C-alpha cells in the first residue's frame, strides 16, 4: 500500500482537519479514495504539512483578516492553503501502515 497521488486536499478550519482525496499505487486512474485527518494527528506523527513555524489555526483563532494571512501559504481568492504534498503523502502512508483496517475503499471517480 502506497499513496501514488494526492488528487486534492481541503482544510476544514472549523474542525482543524484536512480532507484528502488520493490514489494508491494499486488504484486505477478511474478510482479515488477519500479520508479526513485531524491536523493534530498529523503533528503527532511528526509531520508539519505547512511550512516551518507556520500555524494555520493561529490566524483562525486570533480572527485575523484575510490581509493578515501569510500569502505564501494561503490564497484568499481561492481559500486554498499551500500544503507540502510529499509530507502529506508520507504521513498517509505511515498512518495506513499502522492502521491498515482504516484504509478507505476505492470508489469510481
pLDDT at 16: 93
Residue 108 lies in a domain: no
Distance, in Å, from the CA atom of 71 to the CA atom of 26, rounded to the nearest integer, reads: 36
Residue 109 lies in a domain: no
How many domains does one find in the chain? 1
- Per cent of the chain over pLDDT 90 is 62
Residue 45 lies in a domain: yes
pLDDT at 79: 52
Pairing verdict, β 107-108 and 80-81: unpaired
Specify the DSSP class assigned to residue 69: S
**Residue of higher predicted confidence among 26 and 82:** 26
Residue 99 lies in a domain: yes
pTM of the model: 0.74
pLDDT tens-digit readout, 39-91:
999 999 999 898 654 455 554 444 434 443 344 455 555 455 678 899 999 99
Cβ-based neighbour number of residue 43 at 10 Å: 12
pLDDT at 62: 43
Domain encompassing residue 74: 3-103
Amino acid at each position: 500500500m502506497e499513496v501514488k497521488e494526492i488528487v486534492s486536499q481541503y482544510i476544514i478550519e472549523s474542525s482543524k482537519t484536512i480532507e484528502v482525496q488520493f490514489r494508491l499505487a494499486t488504484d486505477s486512474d478511474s478510482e479515488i479514495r477519500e479520508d479526513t485527518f485531524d491536523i493534530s494527528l498529523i503533528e503527532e506523527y511528526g509531520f508539519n504539512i505547512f511550512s516551518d513555524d507556520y500555524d494555520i489555526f493561529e490566524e483562525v483563532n486570533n480572527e485575523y483578516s484575510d490581509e493578515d494571512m501569510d500569502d505564501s501559504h494561503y490564497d484568499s481568492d481561492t481559500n486554498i492553503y499551500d500544503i507540502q504534498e510529499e509530507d502529506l503523502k508520507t504521513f498517509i502512508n505511515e498512518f495506513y501502515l499502522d492502521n491498515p483496517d482504516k484504509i478507505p475503499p476505492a470508489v469510481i471517480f
